[in-house]
Structure 1
Amino acid sequence: MAEQTFKIAVIPGDGIGKEVIKEGLRVLDHLAEESEGKFAFEYDHFPWGCEYYLEHGKMMDEDGVEKMRNYDAIYFGAVGFPGVPDHVSLWGLRLAICQGLDQWANIRPVEFLPGVPHRINHPDPESLNWILVRENSEGEYSGIGGRNFQGRGPGGEVAVQSALFTEKGTERIIRFAFDLARTRKRKKVTSVTKSNAQQYGMVLWDEVFARVAKDYPDVETDQWLVDAMAAHFVLHPEDLEVVVASNLFADILSDLGSALAGSLGIAASANLSPDKSAPSMFESVHGSAPDIAGKGIANPIGTIGSAALMLDHLGLKEEAERVNQAIADTTGQGILTRDIGGTADTVEITDAIIKNLSKVNVEA
C-alpha cells in the first residue's frame, strides 16, 4: 500500500478531451509506479459532457459539484461538441464546477518549448516564460443579465450582460499574483484592465492594485490597458513575468500567449482553490476540437502539463518538475504532433515523454 493515495475525479468531457486525458493518466500512473510506494492515484471517472447532456438534458448530475468536494483534485479534459450550444456546455459543466467550488484563481503559464516553432520574432524565445493569473469567479463571466422584449418582434429584443467586480474578489486575485511573483526569479506583476472605458469595475481594480502593491515593496509593478497589452505580448514579451487580469481579459491574453508559443495544444492551466478548502481542477487550455476527435492526432502536452500543475498543487513538486523537463526534452528531440509541425500521434508523443521521464529520474 502506498504511503499516500490521492483521490482524483476524472472528467474527460468531449471530443479530444477523452483522448488527451487518457494520456495524462498514463503519465501519472508511470510516476506512481516509479515512486515505489511513496504515492499512488485513485481515479473515479465521471461521464459528464455533451453526450451526457443529449441523453439526460443536463451537463452533469444535479449534485455534481457536491460529489467533487471529497476529491484531492479534478482532472478535466475539454467541453463542447456540435449539437449542444457552447454556452450550455460551458455553463453547465466547467463554469458550474469553478464557481461552485470557488476556484477563484486560474493560472496559465506561457512557455516557449525547445523545438516548437514559435510565432514571435525574438532573438531568444526559449528564455521567455511568463504566467497569466486570471480572476476565475466573477468579472465578465459572472452570468448576470438576461434577455427580454422578445414580444417587440424581430429586431426588438434586448440583452443585458453585466460584469461583476467585488473588492474582495479583486483583492484576493491581485494578492495571489504578488505572492506568486515572489516565488519567481524576477519579481514583477503586470496588471491589465480597460479602465479608461470601463470606469467602474476596472477603476476599482486599478485602485485595489495600487493599494495592494504597497504591501509588496520588493515586487516591481506596471499597469497596461488590455489592447496595448495584446500588442506588448507580441512586441516586448521579455517584459512579462506575472500578468494578472480579469476573467475575460486573461482568458483572451492566455490564448494569444499560447499561440505565440506555438499552439494552444501545449498550454496548461489550473483552476485553483488556493486555501484548499475545495479541490482544484486542472485542464489544458485548448477546447474539444471536434474536427480532429477520434483521429489520434491531438496534442496531449497541454493536458500532461496540467498534470504537472496538479502534482505541484498536491505537494509533489519534484515530480512536477520532472514532467515539465520530460516535455521539454521531448519537444527538443523534435518529437512533435501535427499542430506544431511534427508527425507524432497522441500516443507516440506520450510514449516519448514517459521515456524521458525515466531518463530524468535516472539522472536525478
Structure 2
Amino acid sequence: MSGARLVEGGSGTAGGGPGAAGAATARYRIAVIAGDGIGQEVVPAAIECLDVVAERHDIVFDWHQLDWGSDYYRSHGRMMPVDGLDRLAEHDAIFLGAVGVPDIPDVETLWGLLIPIRRRFEQYVNLRPVRSLPGVSSPLAGTEPVDIVIVRENNEGEYSEVGGRLYRGTEDEVAIQESIFTKRGITRVARYAARLAADRRAAGHAGRLTSATKSNGIVHTMPFWDEVVRGVLAGFPDVTTDSELIDALAASLVLRPHRYDVIVASNLFGDILSDLAGAITGSIGCAPSANLNPDGRHPSMFEPVHGSAPDIAGQGIANPIGQIWSGALMLDALGHPDAATDLVAAFEAALAGGARTRDIGGSASTAEVAAAVRAHLETTAA
C-alpha cells in the first residue's frame, strides 16, 4: 500500500478551514472497479460526490478505472488479469461497485474477483453500519431509531475453500464444505469489535457488544468461537457484552433492533445479519460496507451491500446511497473523519429533502439523488 502523499498548497480559499491557502493536500490512488449491473451506475454517481467533498477538505483522488468484472470474464475467461492483485496493491484503497450476473455462476464471479481481494489483502474486518436515515421509513411499525454496526469476520469461517464434490452425476454424489476457524482469526475480529464498542461508548452510544453464535447446534467451531471471544472481551471490562444464538438473534433483531449497538459475527452469520438489518431500516440499497485491513499494510476495499441488482440495471433508478456511504467509510479509513461526516450529512439532508429512489418510497433517479447530495455539499461549503 503506497499511502497518502501530501502536496503543499491548497485551493486558495480564505480562512483557516478546509481548503485554506498553504494547507497540505492529501492525494490518494484509488482503484475503481464498477463491475457489474448497477455498479456501473452508482459508482460514477458516488465518485462525483466524493470529488466535491474532497475539494472541500484538501483531498485529491486519483481514480484509476479498471474494467474488470463479468464483461472482462466473457472476453478473457477470468474476472481480472493474472496480475490484477499486484496492480491493486499499488493503490491506497479499492472502490468497488458490484459483482455478479445471472448467466455466469457466482463461483466464477465472486471467487474470481471479490473474495481473492479480501483474502490477499487480509481485509479481515467487514464493517457494515446500519442506521435509521431521514425520510426513509422502516417496514417495521413503531420502530425506534436504529444505529448498529455489524463487524463480520471476513477471511475465514464458513466461506473457506476447503472441501469438494465426489462421484458427480451419480446417486452417490457428495458435497463437503469445511468451516475454518482459527484462534488468530477470531481474536483479531473480536478485538476490533470490542475496541469499536468502547469507542462508541465514549461517544455516547450504549457500548454494548453482542456475539452471534450457534454453539448449541454446531458442536466444534461455535463453542471455539465463544471461548476465544470471551477471552478477548475479558480485556474490555467497560464494554457490556453478551452472546446470542443466531436464530434468536435474527428474531430479536426484527422485534427489537434498537437494543443492539455492535454485533460481531462469523463470515456467514455476519453476512446474513447485515442484510437483514439493512432491510429493517428501509432498504439494503442504503447499506454500505468496508472491507478493512486494520493494520494498514494493504489497501482496504469499500463497496455497497446491495449487489449487482440485474433486474433494475441500466434503468437509472438504482439507489446510490449505499455506494456514497461506502465512500464516506473510505474517507474515514484514510484518516479524514471530518470529510466523511460532511458526506454523510449531505446524503442525509438529500434524503430528508425528498431525493429518494423508488426502493425507499421516492421517484428520483440515481443521477437526481447524487445531484442533490452534491448540491448540499456545495451549499454548505458556500
What TM-score, normalized by structure 2, do the two folds share?
A: 0.91
Runs of 4+ off more than 6 Å: none
- Separation (CA, whole Å) in 2 of partners of 1:347 and 1:136: 32
- Separation (CA, whole Å) in 2 of partners of 1:217 and 1:226: 24
Please state whether the residue corresponding to 1:163 is helix, strand or coil. coil
CA deviation profile, 1:240-277 (whole Å, cap 9, x unmatched): 00000000000000000000111110000000000110
Alignment-derived partner of residue 135 in structure 1: 153
RMSD: 1.2
| Alpha carbons 1:194, 1:225 under 8 Å: kept | yes
- Separation (CA, whole Å) in 2 of partners of 1:221 and 1:81: 40
Alignment-derived partner of residue 177 in structure 1: 193
Alignment-derived partner of residue 13 in structure 2: none
- Separation (CA, whole Å) in 1 of partners of 2:143 and 2:155: 37
Alignment-derived partner of residue 22 in structure 2: none
- Separation (CA, whole Å) in 2 of partners of 1:83 and 1:71: 31
Alignment-derived partner of residue 229 in structure 2: 209
CA deviation profile, 1:26-71 (whole Å, cap 9, x unmatched): 0111123334xx2201011111111111110001111111111111
Alignment partner of 1:11 is 2:33 = yes
Among 291, 316, 336, the residue aligned to 2:311: 291
- Separation (CA, whole Å) in 1 of partners of 2:259 and 2:182: 29
1:331-342 equivalences under 5 Å are: 331-342=351-362
Q: Which amino acid is the alignment partner of residue 181 of structure 1?
A: A
| Alpha carbons 1:325, 1:360 under 8 Å: kept | no
- Separation (CA, whole Å) in 2 of partners of 1:244 and 1:357: 33
- Separation (CA, whole Å) in 2 of partners of 1:248 and 1:123: 26
- Which blocks of at least 5 consecutive residues in structure 2 are unaligned? 1-6, 11-24
- Which blocks of at least 5 consecutive residues in structure 1 are unaligned? none
Alignment-derived partner of residue 352 in structure 1: 372
1:88-167 equivalences under 5 Å are: 88-125=108-145, 128-150=146-168, 153-167=169-183
What TM-score, normalized by structure 1, do the two folds share?
A: 0.95
Alignment-derived partner of residue 85 in structure 1: 105
Please state whether the residue corresponding to 2:164 is helix, strand or coil. strand
Matched residues, number: 356
| Alpha carbons 2:53, 2:343 under 8 Å: kept | no
- Separation (CA, whole Å) in 2 of partners of 1:23 and 1:306: 12
Percentage identity across paired residues of the two chains? 48
- Separation (CA, whole Å) in 2 of partners of 1:133 and 1:108: 6
User: What is the Cα deviation at residue 361 of structure 1?
Assistant: 3.5
CA deviation profile, 1:308-356 (whole Å, cap 9, x unmatched): 0000001111010011111111111122101111010000000001111
CA deviation profile, 1:133-190 (whole Å, cap 9, x unmatched): 000000011121101112xx53321110111000000000000000111111221110
